[in-house]
Structure 1
Amino acid sequence: MTGYKGRLTYAKGTYVEFVVAPDQEVDFGDILVVEGKNGDRFYIRAHDFKVKSRWSGINGVNYLMSKLDENGQADQEELAFYLGGNHTVKIAMAEQLCYSDAAGSLFNPKTCPDFFCEVRGLDSDDSALLSELKGDLEFGLLKSGRGVISLPVGIYGAKSIPEHMGIFGTTGSGKSNLVKVLASSLLGNGAYGLLIFDVHNEYFQDLIKHPMAQERLSVYNVNPYSPHEMKLGVGFADIEPEDITACASFTEPQMDALYKLSSVWQDQWVSNVLQYDVADIADELAGCTGQKFQSRTLSKIKSVCWNLQQEFKMEPEGPSSVGSILADLRQGKVVLVELKNVSNVGEQALSTLLSRKILQHSAAMGLEEKDQAKPVLIVLEEAHRFLGKKEYTSNNTFAQLVSEARKFNVGLCVVDQQPRLLADKVLSQLNTLFILGLAAKGDRNKLEAMCRKDILQQRNEIKNLDCGEMIVATNYMRFAAPVKVHKLEDYLERWTQEAMPAVSGNAPL
């Protein structure tokens, strides 16, 4: 990528054109440098191409056509004279990303380069641009066109986590690998908590290989099957009406009864609903509230509560894991909650319960405690089940997380194959987007409209992303960066080689 690429021939605002040198190749998405005057450097990205010739006009075309015989053939030597040599040029169309002055300070586009400035590839001297892309949570290398530059790219967790993230890509685009790489970065960092609802139990077998897994990885399972896992316990007092409504559909009278039960019996409401007959529950509510509820209304609530009791093997005085999960997260650990053997009803209830507890715990902190607490990120896969256009409501726990959690240093990372299914209010709150391969035009258009960075000129690039390639757009980066995501195995191997000497020598990471 380094070296001379061509000369600038046109500039207007942030749009530029340059002639590609005859012996050079420039691809869609290539990030290049225009050398300006007085040490200025303009960073540009190629997004389209055109070929021009002295024969491109209609008169020139007619003249060339006259050289063809009745079979459409021409003398090759004569054709080479007219079309070859310096008669044709390849012109690249590009957008200006940012520029740096002679002192190395980086700025958003404020001016444009001069005519016939040199265009070259990135090299190690472009430290102003490269340093902004590093971050403290690494996930890949900078991609430029068809090539990959040996420059680590990451995000700054303190900035990105509280402002929410979105990971979007079709099946096979590399979403799971990206989440695993991010989790590995968090394990190595130790400055942030991460909660993953592992629906398919696919993360444990990979993350346990991390050198810091013994210290910073906590795994909870309703049915533990290895010594590394802890029993996931849910207490009756942990459950609130929001957890019940997240996993089943209720009519308005059923919702009313649900909240009345919680108000009347407080922490014991689930235990009492399971213990008493429907007729006794109806009499108790009538006596306390003056309302008479039908048996089938209360039976629906009792049925859902019974299902959850069986799902989580809940007992009246059984232990709860909620406190230990909250403590793990605030200590900067990665917490996996394995849900492979849990039904969709149980999964939705548990996801809502733990997320709500994290939000409540964070909101209840004092100022001093809040300043010392580590940011926490919650990963929510197949997010449209909770935050879809129909599912999004003001009393939805995850809707509250999206709108309020940044005040309390809690962030949400939504993972989905079809971003167009998510509510617009959710997408508008995601300040960091990881855009992998998306097959549907509707999904790409939705992200173009909602992305905080202008990615319209990257349509060709996004449309042709291969597995493990993505576009990263975040608030503090000056442009949406193309990235080749690390393969988890390679990243863990490299991290082990670099970090283990420090760990064995008790040196700080």
Structure 2
Amino acid sequence: MTFQKLVEFKNSVEYEVVGYVVGESKPYKAEILAFRPLAMGEYLYMEYHGYRVLAFVATSITGSTIISRDLIDPRDVERLVKSVRVGERLFYHRGVVKILGSVNSDGYKLQIPSIPPPPGTEVYKAPKTVLESVFSPRKRNYVGVGVLLREPEVEVKVNINKIVSRHLGILAMTGMGKSNLVALIAKRVEELGGTIVIFDYHGEYTSLKNIVLIKPVLDPLKLTLDELARLLNIPRNATRQRMVLKECLDSTDFGSAKEFFNSMKRCVQGRIARYGASAQKVLDSLNVYEGFLKKVLKEDTGDVIERIAIGSINVVDLSELHLNHADAVIAHWLSRLLEARKASVWSNGEKGFPTPLIAVIEEAHVFLPADDETSTKSSASLVVREGRKFGLGLVVVSQRPRGLDPTILSQLGNLAILRIVHPEDQAYVARYCEPVMQDVMEELPGLNVGEAILLGEWVPIPAAAKIDLVSEKVSGMDIDAVAIWGSYLNKK
């Protein structure tokens, strides 16, 4: 850069000098002394050794060498504040910044420079033009989900292809905007002509427009042993009960689904002499759950794959199911989705499900727990390992990250982390997801509703964003109890 251009650069309205690099720095991290307070999530810009570098404020500190912690009387502070001369600096502002990468001509491909910024390097507020080149790529596979938290004029776009190939975790405490982000992603996928299947455990997505609502009914003849055992509430460690169930599934000629329960009961009854109490417990489960399961297991329902509307938001409504039954339903769907995508890839689209798709598991800490084995966890483990090759992406949504299976969590290549207060949740995410922004974990309690840190391959660099609101999604929002009480009293 010539001297003339450097002068023009520094005098430009767009380039505000924020401060200078001080102390020791590394290629990926530096400390700066600033003229003003730094906001967590703010983007900064530096130029050194031929690099044009973007950085992210990970830690912001305001202190004073005059008003120190050694003071023991608040009146001393009062006298110091009142005696400060006009123009004298009472505070200093420091910050630790994460160096995100050097901006190339294409904007959305950044690489960490091999050389750290030298002390004295000028640090600027990141120009809007640079931020737009990074966060708002003009490519079809990038879709808008919000704006930068500290630069609301800059749109944040995410790469939908990376959700399909690398999966996504949406993590936050309850009420912070997880389901709103799911609804937004679903709408963006639909706009691209894509297909998404949401397993809705609390009926939160039924208010979305243009959805295909699917009842959670399964063909009993297409169930696996584990899925049927889960529906009958037979534990995994009940090996003899499961043996009885397996023998009857393998040996019975059902003829049709209408004969399923009667045929199963006859078969199990015939094994009581051999298996004793174990077979009797299976028979008792069939009798106890038959009435309810007939609402879930129905003859001639066909393959669940046939009920998916291509190019639409498909919502499988699990709100009326017990946990074990919902677990079996989700597991069955995930297994069939993966099998159908494999068949399509291997047959060049002649069989199976013809297009890539995304599956969303709400309340994932319940269905993918760290301390228990579920049918869904078994199926989801296959999806996160193999789905990338066959065009099946998995979105895991949870308000309790520390309750999630660590193996599945560690294989999520993308994250949207909204407000998390519990230290154990913060530490759990940092440990298993290895985000490049671990320092930011300490700042997560400071996020407001709808604000998120986006990490992973679906964004060019980590982004602190304000997520767009899906106004049509009203389910799942906080209930106005006072208004409801008043309305009820008026009606009375």
- In the alignment, the residues of structure 2 paired with residue 442 and residue 173 of structure 1 have an alpha-carbon distance, to the nearest angstrom, of 18
- Asked if residue 463 in structure 1 is aligned to residue 450 in structure 2, the reply is no
Decide whether aligned partners of structure 1 residues 246 and 449 sit closer, same or farther in structure 2, where only a CA change above 3 A counts: same
Amino acid at match of 1:461: E
- Asked if residue 28 in structure 1 is aligned to residue 40 in structure 2, the reply is yes
Amino acid at match of 1:414: V
Amino acid at match of 2:220: F
Match for 1:236 among 220, 229, 245?
Answer: 220
| Cα offset, 1:443, TM superposition | 0.6
Amino acid at match of 1:264: S
**What is the aligned partner in structure 2 of residue 155 from structure 1?**
158
**What is the aligned partner in structure 1 of residue 360 from structure 2?**
379
**What is the aligned partner in structure 2 of residue 418 from structure 1?**
400
Decide whether aligned partners of structure 1 residues 246 and 433 sit closer, same or farther in structure 2, where only a CA change above 3 A counts: farther
- In the alignment, the residues of structure 2 paired with residue 389 and residue 132 of structure 1 have an alpha-carbon distance, to the nearest angstrom, of 37
- In the alignment, the residues of structure 1 paired with residue 153 and residue 473 of structure 2 have an alpha-carbon distance, to the nearest angstrom, of 13
- In the alignment, the residues of structure 2 paired with residue 297 and residue 490 of structure 1 have an alpha-carbon distance, to the nearest angstrom, of 47
- In the alignment, the residues of structure 2 paired with residue 257 and residue 18 of structure 1 have an alpha-carbon distance, to the nearest angstrom, of 68
Does the 8 A contact of 1:162 with 1:411 survive in 2? yes
| Cα offset, 1:244, TM superposition | 1.7
Does the 8 A contact of 2:241 with 2:278 survive in 1? no
**What is the aligned partner in structure 1 of residue 196 from structure 2?**
194
**What is the aligned partner in structure 2 of residue 482 from structure 1?**
464
SS at 2:227 equivalent: helix
Does the 8 A contact of 2:268 with 2:283 survive in 1? no
Q: Which moved more, 1:456-465 or 1:293-302?
A: 293-302
- In the alignment, the residues of structure 2 paired with residue 373 and residue 341 of structure 1 have an alpha-carbon distance, to the nearest angstrom, of 31
SS at 1:489 equivalent: coil
Decide whether aligned partners of structure 1 residues 154 and 125 sit closer, same or farther in structure 2, where only a CA change above 3 A counts: closer
Amino acid at match of 2:442: N
Decide whether aligned partners of structure 1 residues 466 and 264 sit closer, same or farther in structure 2, where only a CA change above 3 A counts: same
Amino acid at match of 1:41: R
* TM-score with structure 2 setting the length: 0.79
Amino acid at match of 2:378: N
Decide whether aligned partners of structure 1 residues 409 and 69 sit closer, same or farther in structure 2, where only a CA change above 3 A counts: closer
Does the 8 A contact of 2:269 with 2:283 survive in 1? no
- Asked if residue 356 in structure 1 is aligned to residue 297 in structure 2, the reply is no
| Cα offset, 1:453, TM superposition | 2.3
Decide whether aligned partners of structure 1 residues 406 and 54 sit closer, same or farther in structure 2, where only a CA change above 3 A counts: closer
**What is the aligned partner in structure 2 of residue 500 from structure 1?**
none
| Cα offset, 1:252, TM superposition | 0.7
SS at 1:243 equivalent: helix
| Cα offset, 1:463, TM superposition | 2.2
- In the alignment, the residues of structure 1 paired with residue 383 and residue 78 of structure 2 have an alpha-carbon distance, to the nearest angstrom, of 69
Match for 1:129 among 127, 134, 138?
Answer: 134
Does the 8 A contact of 1:332 with 1:374 survive in 2? no
Does the 8 A contact of 1:282 with 1:293 survive in 2? no
Matches within 5 A, 1:68-217: 72=76, 79-81=83-85, 85-86=88-89, 89-100=92-103, 106-126=110-130, 127-131=132-136, 136-143=142-149, 147-190=150-193, 192-205=194-207, 207-208=208-209, 213=210, 217=211
| Cα offset, 1:281, TM superposition | 4.0
Decide whether aligned partners of structure 1 residues 346 and 109 sit closer, same or farther in structure 2, where only a CA change above 3 A counts: same
Root-mean-square deviation (Å)? 3.7
Q: Which moved more, 1:300-309 or 1:401-410?
A: 300-309
- In the alignment, the residues of structure 2 paired with residue 70 and residue 131 of structure 1 have an alpha-carbon distance, to the nearest angstrom, of 49
Q: Which runs of 5+ in 2 are unaligned?
A: 1-13, 475-492
Q: Which runs of 5+ in 1 are unaligned?
A: 222-231, 493-509
Q: Which moved more, 1:274-283 or 1:417-426?
A: 274-283
SS at 2:152 equivalent: strand
- In the alignment, the residues of structure 2 paired with residue 91 and residue 320 of structure 1 have an alpha-carbon distance, to the nearest angstrom, of 63
**What is the aligned partner in structure 1 of residue 212 from structure 2?**
218
| Cα offset, 1:166, TM superposition | 1.2
Decide whether aligned partners of structure 1 residues 3 and 320 sit closer, same or farther in structure 2, where only a CA change above 3 A counts: same
- In the alignment, the residues of structure 2 paired with residue 368 and residue 303 of structure 1 have an alpha-carbon distance, to the nearest angstrom, of 45
- In the alignment, the residues of structure 1 paired with residue 272 and residue 340 of structure 2 have an alpha-carbon distance, to the nearest angstrom, of 30
Does the 8 A contact of 2:254 with 2:260 survive in 1? no
Decide whether aligned partners of structure 1 residues 477 and 313 sit closer, same or farther in structure 2, where only a CA change above 3 A counts: closer
SS at 1:179 equivalent: helix
Match for 2:385 among 403, 406, 422?
Answer: 403
| Cα offset, 1:84, TM superposition | 5.8
Cα distance per residue 1:459-482 (max 9 Å; x no partner) = 332121111111111136454321
Does the 8 A contact of 1:274 with 1:305 survive in 2? no
**What is the aligned partner in structure 1 of residue 487 from structure 2?**
none
**What is the aligned partner in structure 2 of residue 16 from structure 1?**
30
**What is the aligned partner in structure 1 of residue 485 from structure 2?**
none
Decide whether aligned partners of structure 1 residues 10 and 261 sit closer, same or farther in structure 2, where only a CA change above 3 A counts: same
* TM-score with structure 1 setting the length: 0.77
SS at 2:128 equivalent: coil
Decide whether aligned partners of structure 1 residues 293 and 12 sit closer, same or farther in structure 2, where only a CA change above 3 A counts: same
Match for 2:240 among 253, 256, 270?
Answer: 253
**What is the aligned partner in structure 2 of residue 229 from structure 1?**
none
Decide whether aligned partners of structure 1 residues 430 and 74 sit closer, same or farther in structure 2, where only a CA change above 3 A counts: closer
**What is the aligned partner in structure 1 of residue 410 from structure 2?**
428
**What is the aligned partner in structure 1 of residue 6 from structure 2?**
none
Cα distance per residue 1:284-309 (max 9 Å; x no partner) = 899xxx98885414304523762454
| Cα offset, 1:370, TM superposition | 8.5
Cα distance per residue 1:387-436 (max 9 Å; x no partner) = 21233369822232233322321122111111111121111111111111
| Cα offset, 1:194, TM superposition | 0.7
Q: How many residues are treated as equivalent by the alignment?
A: 451
Matches within 5 A, 1:282-297: 282-283=269-270, 295-297=279-281
Does the 8 A contact of 2:40 with 2:59 survive in 1? yes
Decide whether aligned partners of structure 1 residues 482 and 303 sit closer, same or farther in structure 2, where only a CA change above 3 A counts: farther
Decide whether aligned partners of structure 1 residues 278 and 91 sit closer, same or farther in structure 2, where only a CA change above 3 A counts: closer
